[in-house]
Amino acid sequence: QRVQMVMNGKWIAEHPERRLRGYHLSGLNRIMGRKKQFTSYLHEFVVQFLDAKHGGRENLKVWTNVFLAESWEERGERISLTTAMEQAEDYKTDPLPASVGVLTCAVDVQKDRLEYEVMGWGISEESWGIERGAIHGDPEKLECWKDLDDLLHRKWNHPSGSRLGIAATCVDSGYATTSVYSFTKPRQNRRIFAVEGSNQNGAPLISKRFLKQGRTTLFIVGGDVAKDSIFARLRMKEHGPRFMHFPIGYGYNEEHFRQLTGEEVRTRMKNGFQIRYYKKLRERNESLDLRVYNLAALEILQPNMERIMEGLKVESEESSEEEVVTVKTHPKKINGGGFANSWR
């Protein structure tokens, strides 16, 4: 039946107007040259496939390219949408969860809006999503940045009776770069920094350099390292160190989780070595980028969470007045020393 089907087939040109022709045909259509040790063509095809499969990924890749005449699509590691959405919990973000001691914010600049996420952090990097949203407007105009500044001045109530402000913010400078620098430079004393993704595999989570434009501070973020950590945390089942909590509502809708899981890990050969990289599976993935920048903000801040949480407990027991918590941090030195001490 297969041979009869092939014999009755015909070539159909996809571009008949072109003078040069190229032919594309799977080996499954072969009807000549059967080897004697096989009882049929299909027998030969199956044996070749099993040999390639058992010979490892590279052999299977060659078989797919040469015999099936198909491109090889690497199957990568990814987090399913269902797995991520199952993390959503019914908790309030104002007042904050009692275990939150520090707030960070990440901002992703788009052509017509500023996407942002505020995250709360506890001991051992356990985290809580606080608010996910967007500020609509042209990032080349001041109105958009004024609304962001208002957000970054906001305070959240804490069950201890204190109020927490955003301790550190990372703003992506990949788009509207000049506007980002203009916004972050005068606010660096509030720990509002411009960031840029690294294009090097295995780059550290953060490294710092100064720009010539008035000594603007720019942090380079190793996205692969951050995404490895985020995906590992998304796989966690038990609450505790490094677990990521998500609220129901507050901007954490299905689209957020689709963006958060919108990439997967793949490998490719480079100079004889396997290189891991992240492949986008959909056009929008701002939520994943925002998680990366929030993780970078925490790394820049280096807060002493045990001391902060102890201070919140003391205020809860001894003070009935409303206070704003000042986060005392112990940032590690990154490519230089004096600037870190100026944060205190």
Task: Write down the pLDDT at residue 320.
Answer: 41
Task: Write down the pLDDT at residue 268.
Answer: 75
Task: Write down the pLDDT at residue 80.
Answer: 83
Task: Write down the pLDDT at residue 213.
Answer: 61
| Centroid of chain to Cα 35 | 51
Most confident of 32-41, 195-204, 233-242: 233-242
Q: pLDDT confidence of 326, banded at 50, 70, 90?
A: low
Each residue's pLDDT tens digit, 259-318: 999 888 887 777 767 777 888 888 888 999 999 999 999 999 999 999 999 988 744 444
Judged by average pLDDT, the poorest of 20-24, 73-77, 134-138 is 73-77
Average pLDDT in the 208-221 region?
A: 79
* Exposure string for 182-219, b = 16+ CB within 10 A, e = fewer: bbbbeebebbbbbbebbeeeebebbebeeeeeeebbbb
Q: Are the C-beta atoms of 160 and 313 separated by less than 8 Å?
A: yes
Closest-CA residue to 184 (of 199, 172, 202, 200): 172
Length of the chain, please? 344
The set of residues, in sequence order, having a beta carbon less than 8 Å from that of 54 and lying 6+ positions away, is none
Q: pLDDT confidence of 226, banded at 50, 70, 90?
A: very high
Q: Are the C-beta atoms of 174 and 137 separated by less than 8 Å?
A: no
Task: Write down the pLDDT at residue 88.
Answer: 92
Q: Are the C-beta atoms of 63 and 49 separated by less than 8 Å?
A: yes
Each residue's pLDDT tens digit, 87-140: 899 999 999 999 999 999 999 999 999 999 999 999 999 999 999 999 999 999
Q: pLDDT confidence of 212, banded at 50, 70, 90?
A: low
Instruction: Report pTM.
Output: 0.72
State yes or no: pLDDT of 327 exceeds 70. Answer: no
| 88 three-class SS | strand
